[in-house]
Structure 1
Amino acid sequence: MTEAALNVLSFLFLGFFLGMRHATDADHVVAIATIVSRERSVVGSALIGAAWGVGHTVTVMAVGAAIIVFGVVIPPRLGMSMEFAVGIMLVLLGVLTLTGSRADGAAHAHVPDVHDHLHAHGDYLHRHLHGHGPGAHGHADEQTPLARLDCGFGRIALYGWLRPFVVGLVHGLAGSAAVALMILSVIRETVAALGYLLLFGLGTIVGMMLITLILSAPFTFTAVNLPKFNWRLRVASGLVSFAFGVVLIYGIGFAEGGLFTDAPIWEPH
C-alpha cells in the first residue's frame, strides 16, 4: 500500500472518530437530552440517538456532496439561516417539554396517590401522571395531546423516531458546510472525500447512541423510583434547551455581523 493510500485511509478513520466527537457538541447534547427526558427504556433511548444520527448523516451527506461534487457555494445569509434554525428548534423542544412537565407537575402537586404508567383510552395508548380516584386522572379522555396523530400512527415503529430524525436533519444543516469545507482543504479526490463524509456520519450515529445511553440512565431510573425528581429533571432539561436556543438565536441572528444585520458574517464551525 502506497504512502498516499495510507494517508487517505488514516484520514477516513479520523473522520469516524471526529464524527463521534461531533456528537458531543453542546447543542446536540441539549437537544437529545430534551428528547429522551420522557423515555422509559434505555434501549429505546439508544434507538432515539441512532435516529438523530441518521437524520444528521442524511443532511451532511446531501449538503456535503453538493459542495464537494458540484462545487456549490453557500451564501453567508443561507448558511446562517441553517444555524439559526437550530436555535429555533431548541426553543421549541424546550417549550414542548416544559408544557408537558407543567401538566404532569400540576397533577402530581394537587392530587394524592398519582403515578405514572402506560395506559389506554380505547386504542389511544400513552403515559402520564394520574391516579384512580375521582378527578385524579389529569385530563379528560378527549383532551389527550396529539391524540389523533398517535392513534393514526402510534403503531408504526418509525413514528416514535420521527422527531429525533427531524432534529438530526436540522443539526446536520447547521454543520454540514463546515465539515465539507474542511474535507476539501485536505482531500482533493471526490470519492475519498465522500467516504470521509460517510464515516463521519457513522461516527456521529455511534457517538449519539452512546450519549443517549448515558443521558437516559437518570431519567429511566427516576421515572420508576423517584417520580417527583424525574419531573424536576424534565423541567431542567426543558429550561436548558429553551435558554440555549435563545442564546443561539440572539448570537446568530442579532449580534454584530448576524443574520439580520446589513452585512452578515458567516464562519462555518
Structure 2
Amino acid sequence: MSFEVLSVLGVGLLLGFRHSFDPDHFIAVSTIATRTGNALKSAVSGIFWGSGHTLMLLMIGMPLVMMKTAVPPRLELIMECTVGVMLIVLGWTSIRTFRKQTEDKRGGSFEKPAQQLNLQSFFVGMVHGMAGSGALVLLTMSTLKDWTEAVLYILVFGCGTVGGMAFFALVIGLPFTFAGRFDRLRRTLGIGAGVASLLFGIFYIQDILLS
C-alpha cells in the first residue's frame, strides 16, 4: 500500500471523527446519552451509534463503489427527510421521558435499560449512515480508484465516527455520573436535548424540502 493511500486513509480517519460532530448526529445521540445514567453507559451508546453508522455505510457504499454509481437524488432526499423525522421522534421521546420522571412524586431513576438504549442508538446510527452514504461514496470514488481501497477507506472513516461519537457521548454523560447531586441539571439537560432535537428535526426537514 502506497504512502499516498495511507495518507488518504489517515485523512479519512480524521474526517470520520469530525463527521460524528455534525449537528444532526450529536443532537440525536445526546437525546439517548442523557437517559443512560452515567458517562460509561453513555460512551457505549456512542459506540453503538458509530457501529450502526458504519454498518450502513458499508451496506450501501460497497455496492455503489463497486458499480461506480451514486445514490439517486430522489432516494437521497427521502433518506435525508427520514433523519429529520427521526430527530423529531427522538426529541419528543426524550421530553416525555424526563417530564414523566419530574412529575413522578416517587422520584425514581432516569436510567433506561442499557440494552434498549444501545439498540436504539445502533438504529439511529444506521439511519444516519443511510442518509450520509451518498456523499461519502462520491468522495471515496473521487479519491481512490481501487474498490478494495475504497472499502477500506469507508471502514477507517467509520472507525473515526465511532471514536468521535464515543468521546462526545462520554462528555454528555459526565454530569449523570453524579446523579444524586445534579437531579435538576439532569432534568434540564434531558428536556433541553429533547427540545433541541425536536426543533432541529423540523428545521432539518424544512431546509431539505426548500433547498
TM-score (norm 1): 0.74
Gaps of 5+ in 1: 118-126, 129-149, 257-269
2:183 is aligned with 1:249: no
d(CA) in 1 for partners of 2:90, 2:117: 15
2:203 is aligned with 1:211: no
d(CA) in 1 for partners of 2:116, 2:8: 36
d(CA) in 2 for partners of 1:183, 1:78: 19
In the other structure, the counterpart of 2:154 is 197
Residues 121-132 of structure 1 mapped to structure 2, 5 A cutoff: none
d(CA) in 2 for partners of 1:166, 1:229: 28
SS for the counterpart of 2:180 is helix
d(CA) in 2 for partners of 1:65, 1:247: 31
* Number of aligned positions between the proteins: 211
d(CA) in 2 for partners of 1:73, 1:23: 22
d(CA) in 1 for partners of 2:15, 2:159: 10
Q: Computing the radius of gyration over CA atoms, which structure comes out larger, 1 or 2?
A: 1
SS for the counterpart of 2:108 is strand
2:92 is aligned with 1:95: yes
For residue 159 of structure 1, report the CA deviation from its aligned partner.
4.0
The root-mean-square deviation of aligned C-alpha atoms, in Å, is 1.8
Counterpart among 108, 112, 135 of residue 116 in structure 1: 108
In the other structure, the counterpart of 2:186 is 230
SS for the counterpart of 1:73 is coil
For residue 38 of structure 1, report the CA deviation from its aligned partner.
1.4
2:79 is aligned with 1:82: yes
In the other structure, the counterpart of 1:265 is none
Q: Which has the higher strand share?
A: 1
What is the one-letter code of the residue matched to 2:147? T
d(CA) in 1 for partners of 2:70, 2:50: 25
Counterpart among 36, 48, 72 of residue 39 in structure 1: 36
Asked if structure 1 preserves the Cα contact closer than 8 Å seen for 2:38 and 2:175, the reply is no
d(CA) in 2 for partners of 1:227, 1:16: 37
In the other structure, the counterpart of 2:5 is 8
Between 65-74 and 195-204, report the one with greater CA deviation.
65-74
For residue 158 of structure 1, report the CA deviation from its aligned partner.
4.5
For residue 177 of structure 1, report the CA deviation from its aligned partner.
1.0
2:155 is aligned with 1:163: no
TM-score (norm 2): 0.93
For residue 205 of structure 1, report the CA deviation from its aligned partner.
0.5
Asked if structure 1 preserves the Cα contact closer than 8 Å seen for 2:175 and 2:182, the reply is no
Gaps of 5+ in 2: none
Identity of aligned residues (%): 36
